[in-house]
């Protein structure tokens, strides 16, 4: 379910010229299914961590949730640690392989 090889090329083509998603519709639909799968996986993982969060630092998502709680007290950094920024950060780390 990784986006490698031809999937990366399709994403690049569609990024450069959006009409390619109609020309390469079958490949584009496969890429969209993979992206949606990973997005749902990351959102479910975040929601599970948020429900079970006890204020202790267990892993990377827990440390981001602690930072989010501290940022809610400060008005300036609150906008940078919202739910979707945390999900995107965790997704990027997962896809990169860290």
Tell me, yes or no, whether 1 lies in a domain: no
Tell me, yes or no, whether 15 lies in a domain: yes
Q: How confident is the model at residue 55 (pLDDT cuts 50, 70, 90)?
A: confident
pTM: 0.68
Residue 5 in this model has a pLDDT that exceeds 70:
no
Tell me, yes or no, whether 81 lies in a domain: yes
Q: How confident is the model at residue 1 (pLDDT cuts 50, 70, 90)?
A: very low
Q: Domain limits at 47?
A: 6-96
What pLDDT score was predicted for residue 14?
77
Among residues 42, 35, 12, 41, which one has the least CA distance to residue 24?
Answer: 12
* Residue 25: Cβ-neighbour burial (10 angstroms; 0-12, 13-18, 19+): exposed
Q: What value, to the nearest 5°, has the Cα angle with vertex 76 and ends 70 and 79?
A: 80
Tell me, yes or no, whether 56 lies in a domain: yes
Q: How many domains does the chain have?
A: 1
Coil, strand or helix at 54: coil
Residue 98 in this model has a pLDDT that exceeds 60:
no
Q: How confident is the model at residue 80 (pLDDT cuts 50, 70, 90)?
A: confident
């Amino acid at each position: 379910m990784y986006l490698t090889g031809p999937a990366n090329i399709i994403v690049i083509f569609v990024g450069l010229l959006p009409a390619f998603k109609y020309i390469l519709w079958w490949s584009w639909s496969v890429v969209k299914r993979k992206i949606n799968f990973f997005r749902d996986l990351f959102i479910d993982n975040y929601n599970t961590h948020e429900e079970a969060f006890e204020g202790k630092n267990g892993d990377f998502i827990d440390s981001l949730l602690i930072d989010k709680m501290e940022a809610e007290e400060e008005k300036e950094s609150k906008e940078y640690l919202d739910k979707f920024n945390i999900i995107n950060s965790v997704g990027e780390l997962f896809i990169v392989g860290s």
